[in-house]
Amino acid sequence: MAISPLCLLVLAGLLGSLANKDLQNKVFIFPTASNRAAVFLKAPLQQPLTGFTVCLRSYTLLTRGYGLFSYATRRSHNELLLYKLSPNQYSLYVGAYSVTFNLPEKQGSKSNWEHICVSWDSATGLVELWVDGRPLPRTGLKKGYSINPEASIVLGQDQDSFGGGFATKESFVGEMKDVYMWERVLTADEVNLVWNGHNVNSSLINWRSLNYETRGYVVLKPFLFPG
């Protein structure tokens, strides 16, 4: 039986939007707290990760905790999780264990957009967090561990099960852009390049060629403050 064009449009809306495109000068907007709204990312992972760097920019007025970048596997829903506990606290989970960074108070910031890069290296266990181009003191986590490559990767939520288990009270509300991931620890010079909007090659997740699917109430719009 043939399917009408109207039914196809409805079906596409139910399944979410699929894309693989350059999102330069675009942002994902998460307008309201939700246990459904999320962006699912696809990455060409072939083998276990023994190191990574994740970078992104976000803008929110939230003061409660929320998930930014969630990488869940069937072994652990917190295989890799970047979670902001409060306006001045970030936590990174690797293999269900976490470390927390306390940020200094911002002085004279001209923008509420915040750029972060977080990295982890299995050989040393060292975790690095860079906020707006500045590194915080390094700490250690899960030395010798490897991260399973069969993952569900989500923006804007904290997965409590593989591909779901979202909680409204942990959802991100605001805007997000410039999401990248590498399967290695970036150097200080490379982090500085990313912070200044330059491309660093060989990324698994690339904002300039993003393979993603939106679900729930997520809107893709132009960035309001370019330049």
Q: Using one digit for the tens of pLDDT, what is the confidence trace for 50-106?
A: 999 999 999 999 999 999 999 999 999 999 999 999 999 999 999 999 999 999 876
Per-residue confidence band for 180, with pLDDT thresholds at 50, 70 and 90:
very high
Q: Inform me whether the pLDDT recorded for 19 exceeds 80.
A: no
Q: The tokens of 45 are what? A: 């992972």
Q: Inform me whether the pLDDT recorded for 24 exceeds 70.
A: yes
At the top level of CATH, the class of 22-222 is mainly beta
Q: Higher model confidence: residue 110 or residue 83?
A: 83
Dist CA 169 CA 63 (whole Å):
11
Dist CA 113 CA 193 (whole Å):
17
Per-residue confidence band for 111, with pLDDT thresholds at 50, 70 and 90:
low
- Tell me 210's DSSP state: E
Per-residue model confidence as pLDDT tens digits over 187-223: 999 999 999 999 999 999 999 999 999 999 999 999 9
Cα–Cα distances (Å) from 5 to 9, 10, 11, 17, in that order, read 6, 9, 10, 16
Q: Which H helix or E strand runs over 131?
A: strand 126-131
Chain Cα centroid distance, residue 74: 19
